[in-house]
Amino acid sequence: MKSQTIVTLAAAVVLPFAMLAHADDTQKEIERYRQMIADGNPAELLEMRGEELWKQKRGPKNATLETCDLGLGAGKVQGVNAVLPRYFADVDRVMDLESRLVHCENTLQGFSMAELTKNPHSMKAGERQTDHEALVAYIVGQSRGAKVDLPQTHPKELESYLRGEKMFFFKGGPYDFACATCHGVDGQRIRLQDLPNFQKPDNAQRAFTTWPAYRVSQGAMRTMQWRLLDCFRQQRMPELQFLSQASIDLITYMGVKAKGGVMDAPAIKR
């Protein structure tokens, strides 16, 4: 029933968009559409499902995730997304939210890494959102209002940022695109989609604080890992692997650039 509600909701907001075809003032119409979709975010249902999963005994070890240390201490969920990615001493590396969540499901609940990383995202239209997406929605939702402040005190945190910076400007593939091609200049759009310029703090903040997000056009909530996977798809690069070093480094780069922004995710977007 829930997914049906979401589909109906999505149709209700997508349809008026299709009718904009002959509007003159494109930018004004985009703004109007944004306001239209701003009330009521279906991701809230997913947050609720995620909270249940978080507290449920699951996996071969029949344990909950409630002792998981997401970066602010065992069991602390509030505000964690505003300080991730960060260095974790127990694994001696930098992890983003999704890497850390999967790590906890592996170590505390006994799920294998293979099953945890096989199908983390719901990819087909109408497919039920995955447990991973639900858990991410819940955790991220608990950071609303928190100020983005990624630690950059450990050398590995700094290295992650520096690698992320180089990756951001790396041009490759048949299109010669880098992240910076579309996200390094003010006021750029692909079709009607505004592109944040990550060299500008306010742009970086707006982008970083509103991912993950419920995508109306896809009728699904998408995580930050998915966001990067899909960016590289459109960039015509090879498939970015889930939880890969490059994904973590780029999230670190964006998070550091977004310092001071106020978390407001999962958000709702086109």
Q: Within 84-113, which residues bind another protein (CB under 8 A)?
A: 89, 92
Choose between 8 and 241: whose C-beta lies nearer to another protein. 241
- Is residue 189 at the binding interface for another protein, with CB under 8 A as the rule? yes
In whole angstroms, how close is the CB of 93 to another protein at the nearest point? 12
201 three-state secondary structure: helix
Q: How far is CA 195 from CA 97, 101, 163, 204, in A?
A: 24, 29, 22, 10
Look up 68 and say whether it is catalytic: no
Answer for the pair 37, 6: CB distance below 8 angstroms, yes or no: no
Which one, 145 or 173, has the nearer CB to another protein?
Answer: 173
Residue 21 beta carbon to another protein: minimum distance, rounded to whole angstroms: 6
Nearer to another protein, 20 or 62 (CB): 20
Q: Applying CB under 8 A, which part among 64-72, 127-135, 147-155, 260-268 lies near another protein?
A: 147-155
Q: Alpha carbon 9 to chain centroid distance?
A: 22
Of 55 and 169, CB closest to another protein: 169
Distance (Å, whole) CA 177 – CA 248: 20
Contact call for residue 240 and another protein (CB under 8 A): yes
Q: Which residue in 68, 179, 182, 231 is the catalytic one?
A: 231
Please state the φ and ψ torsions of residue 123, each to the nearest 5 degrees. -105, -30
Alpha helices in 23-120 (DSSP H): 26-38, 43-55, 97-107, 113-118
Q: Which stretch in 48-56, 77-85, 208-216, 229-237 sits in contact with another protein by CB under 8 A?
A: 229-237
Q: How far is CA 31 from CA 22, 36, 187, 195, in A?
A: 16, 9, 14, 14
- 233 binds another protein, rule: CB under 8 A: yes
**Which residues of the chain form contacts with another protein (CB under 8 A)?**
20-23, 26, 89, 92, 152-155, 158-159, 161-163, 165-167, 169-178, 180-182, 184-185, 187-193, 232-234, 236-241, 244-247, 249
Active-site residues, by number, are 231
